[in-house]
A and B are shown apart, each in its own frame.
Chain A
Amino acid sequence: MVSATIERPGPVPAAAGIGLRGPHHSQFLTDAPSVAWLEAHSENFFAADSIASSALERIRANYPLSLHGVGLSLGSAGPLNQEHLAKLGRLIERFEPGLVSEHLCWGAAGGYHLNDLLPLPYTEEALDHMAEHIAQVQDFLGRQILVENVSSYMEFKDSTIPEWEFLAAVSARSGCGILLDINNIYVSASNHGFRATDYIDAIPADKVGEIHLAGHSVQVYEDQAVLVDTHDAPVCDDVWALFEVALQKIGPRPTLIEWDSELPPLTVLLNEAQRAQDMMDEAHELAA
């Protein structure tokens, strides 16, 4: 376990980082490649004594860290899973991440999990529920979390609030920050026919604590093309363009290249991060 005397890299900087994935652990342990910060999936390190957790302990000594959860299921009806929350709390205590994030979604019903990031119906009931759960999480952890917008492939008839207003309201009510996933905005905008820039314009810039960039794929169902957030490809040109819009509106933030499936060599992720960093530097110069 960590003692208070261990000195670690501090806050996550407003620079480009990458997602830390298992197949790349050994390269981080031996080569310590240059990147501003790393983000790890919280649940992958819930087993405190695992080989992966031992690796993260050593990697953490060299990089600022963000912990990104995918399984707390903040928007599911019923109470929060206290066991999951307790594991997250122990993880945060051990690794002292600069940022902690989860999703604006649900993923469990009736005691069973779908292990997916499912969109909510954007209703007053769901807004109350989500804000209450986030407040409970923040009280338990004793810190602010960031909440990320998810990609969507369905719309509920019950929804009465645009997603961007819902996300802003969740942040205002609970005090959480926003993790703005540009690729998810692009995917949902393409699937549901709204303007991605309207979404970005509606998000309060001062609440955005992190930005995600990722690749997606096009899947065809009965001649219907659907964009799906698969994290298995480079960031596409349209999403890079949208990132530029976000930089102008929001300013530089810790920005992550996410890649989970069909994982390429580490250099590919580092090159994507460098491209994001170059755009951030350029936006900073223009603003100066």
Chain B
Amino acid sequence: MNSLRSLQERCYRAFLLGEAEPLLPELMSREIPAPISIQVYQNNARETYRKALAANYPVVERLVGDDCFRGFALKYMRDYPSTSGDLQRFGATLPDFLCEHYRDSRFAYLPDVARLEWAVEEVQLSRESGPLDLDALSRIEPEHYTEVRFHRSESARLICSPYPILSIWRTNQPGQETEVDLSSGAEHVVVRRHAGSVQLNLIDSAAASLAAHLGDAETLEEATAALDSEFGDGQSFDLTTALQQLTGTGLLSRFTLEQPTYSQ
């Protein structure tokens, strides 16, 4: 007699990895022949993970089509097997998987679209942050502006891409059929949970650059200095406009000062 552990490991390898032979002698073949039993469970596994991925990545599924999506869902479930009994977060590494397989293809934009879809999923599961306290911000003495450190909202994500990912996402919602010009340029998207729903808003490249620096917990002075250096001579960086975009889209939800501290 097999131990429970040994039998379950054989089942796992047969159903998920397709290694049926070691399991066949352990199964009865009365009403259902053993090879058919294994096929049923293999099919169940493929469908479970395809549906779980499709639930989190409906736009990716629509872009590549049903057959292609089934194909890479099968490969993904084997390369990145589930490690939880909770399927809600299954597929977190799909953008990386797509990057490995589609980076140099006509679907090169796919990993960034997947990152956008995963951001939508993440913010739905996150705690909703309140808005930045602009009244408190306005009370800071001007000589302390440069010491302000902004902090990102727990319920917002920034996805930057050289592709028009928000346009792609919007035109691939149910009922939408319009075309997107892939050469139309970069789009940087703030995905935010607000008032119990998910909002997606564009910010410009300057605001995205500022966000990248503030995300490293730099003070406003440190971030501004770095950006001045990046933008170089002859290009102006409008700090106020960039900061307004980051606060307006909810990417920044609080700030701190060494002394005194203000928070939401």
- Chain B, 16-51, CB within 8 A of any chain A CB: 16, 25-28, 30-34, 36-41, 43-45, 48-49, 51
Cα–Cα distance between A77 and B9 once the two chains are bound (Å): 9
> Contact: B82 with A113, CB < 8 Å?
yes
Is A214 positioned at the interface, with any CB of B under 8 Å from its CB? no
| Partner pick for B12 among A52, A109, A129, CB 8 A cutoff | A109
Binary A-proximity of B106-134 (CB < 8 A = 1, otherwise 0):
00000000000000000011111000000
> Contact: A156 with B32, CB < 8 Å?
no
> Contact: B27 with A115, CB < 8 Å?
no
A50, A107, A114, A228 pick with most chain B CB within 10 angstroms: A114
Is A116 positioned at the interface, with any CB of B under 8 Å from its CB? yes
- Chain A residue at minimum C-beta to C-beta distance from B198: A51
Known: A77-B5, A106-B8, A226-B40. A113 touches B83 (CB 8 A): yes
Number of interface residues of B (CB under 8 A): 52
Residues of A within 8 A of B43 (CB): 219, 221
Is B212 positioned at the interface, with any CB of A under 8 Å from its CB? no
Known: A70-B85, A192-B31. A77 touches B3 (CB 8 A): yes
Is B11 positioned at the interface, with any CB of A under 8 Å from its CB? yes
> Contact: A112 with B16, CB < 8 Å?
yes
Is A174 positioned at the interface, with any CB of B under 8 Å from its CB? no
Is B197 positioned at the interface, with any CB of A under 8 Å from its CB? yes
Binary B-proximity of A90-131 (CB < 8 A = 1, otherwise 0):
000000000000000011111111111010110101100100
> Contact: A114 with B15, CB < 8 Å?
yes
Known: A47-B88, A112-B16, A226-B40. A77 touches B32 (CB 8 A): no
Binary B-proximity of A186-207 (CB < 8 A = 1, otherwise 0):
0000011100000000000000
Cα–Cα distance between A46 and B90 once the two chains are bound (Å): 14
Binary B-proximity of A38-57 (CB < 8 A = 1, otherwise 0):
00000110110111101000
Is B142 positioned at the interface, with any CB of A under 8 Å from its CB? no
- Chain B residue at minimum C-beta to C-beta distance from A155: B28
Known: A226-B36, A226-B40. A158 touches B5 (CB 8 A): no
> Contact: A153 with B37, CB < 8 Å?
yes
Residues of B within 8 A of A222 (CB): 36, 39
Q: Which residues of B contact A (CB under 8 A)?
A: 1-5, 7-9, 11-12, 15-16, 25-28, 30-34, 36-41, 43-45, 48-49, 51-52, 81-88, 90, 124-128, 193, 196-198
Q: Which residues of A contact B (CB under 8 A)?
A: 43-44, 46-47, 49-52, 54, 70-73, 75-78, 81, 84, 87, 106-116, 118, 120-121, 123, 125-126, 129, 153-158, 191-193, 219, 221-222, 224, 226, 228, 261
What are 21 A-B residue pairs whose CB atoms fall within 8 Å in the complex? A43-B85, A43-B86, A71-B85, A71-B86, A77-B3, A84-B86, A109-B12, A113-B85, A114-B11, A114-B16, A115-B49, A115-B90, A116-B44, A121-B2, A125-B4, A154-B28, A154-B32, A156-B27, A157-B27, A157-B28, A226-B40
6 tightest CB-CB pairs across the interface, nearest first?
A: A71-B85, A154-B37, A77-B5, A49-B127, A47-B125, A155-B28
